[in-house]
Amino acid sequence: MKISEYHNGMPSPEILVDTAVVHFDKNSRGKDFVVGDIHGMFDHLGSLLKKVSFDEDRDRLFSVGDLVDRGPQSQDALKWLQHPWFYAVRGNHEQFVIDSENEEQLNIWINYNGGEWWLNVDEPEQATFRTAFANMPLAMEVETETGNVGIVHADVPPFISWEHFVSLLESRDRDATLYALWSRNRITGQGSSRPVSGKVDRIYCGHTPTRMTVQLENVCYIDTGAVYATEGYEEAKLTLVPFDMPEAETELSGGVLIEYSGPPLGIFKLTRAMMLFTMPVFLVVLFFGGAVTAPGWWPKLIGLLAWFVLVALTIVIRNTTPRVRTDQAVRFFWGPVSLVALVAVVLAWSGL
């Protein structure tokens, strides 16, 4: 069964470990944490662990993968993997390292995906990196006080249970493996956002950078773009989530606001705030223009009341209607709304 759009031109991921999915029992001695994509920002991770008083003798730290690339301490990944309390699933950037003996994949990685640091690594250490990353599991299951947790780098395919997904990974299914490493379908609205069924209560993923952590049903995305702090993005941060906090900061995220922060994000928000008050003005002038501009105070009062009603109606709709994903909004406006607009044009043309 083909469950991934990633079929062509990619090497089949090599898995050296006996089991592609590792299970962890409940930590009865300390706390468990999961961290988003690190991308060589290990100094930031160290600072975060100090802030939460991480106890190396009792606590455990799980990672959604992408330990390397773009950040300044990518070569420290091997050192962190040697810590007995640190566990990471494989991300697509670990896969770039594994596939680096493939000339085409090496060029794609170094030129477009932050792999420049690899050029400063000698051949023996490169071999060590490949072996270490090829031994990383594709997913993890962790028992916690708040329910069972699944960890995978990118996503779980739609319409299959967690157990089915695990069985596909264990059987080295190529499509399931590539989906786990690369897919953005769920978070970009190109696939189903239904919860993942099975014995896991929630799943943590990374791969897609967002301004805040995002939760779609029981799937939590925690890559908040830490590495982009090196490029001046003020809201870029590394997210560390304790497993006893079962929800993300926001339920939905989509569209251009995912990619913006700082002044550009402020401009977007200011524009939306201005539109709340200016758009009703245009509607009143468009539909009540003649009456509003008539002499006397009564038409002005009618126009003011109409503007107030439109603003109030907009606020009520915004605060009582569930938010929709970008793809749902596009289907709605290009579907029934377009048909209504077409009918209106025909009626206007016919003089009715």
Active site residues: 93
How far apart are alpha carbons 336 and 174 in whole angstroms?
A: 40
Kindly give the pairing relationship between strand 214-216 and strand 219-221. antiparallel
Q: Residue 147 is inside which H or E element, if any?
A: strand 147-152
Tokens of 179: 């989906």
How far apart are alpha carbons 27 and 1 in whole angstroms?
A: 36
User: Is 283 strand, coil or helix?
Assistant: helix
How far apart are alpha carbons 330 and 79 in whole angstroms?
A: 47
CB 240 within 8 A of CB 46: no
Closest CA to 137 of 279, 233, 22, 48: 22
The distance of Cα 311 from the centroid of its chain, to the nearest Å, equals 33
User: Is 33 strand, coil or helix?
Assistant: strand
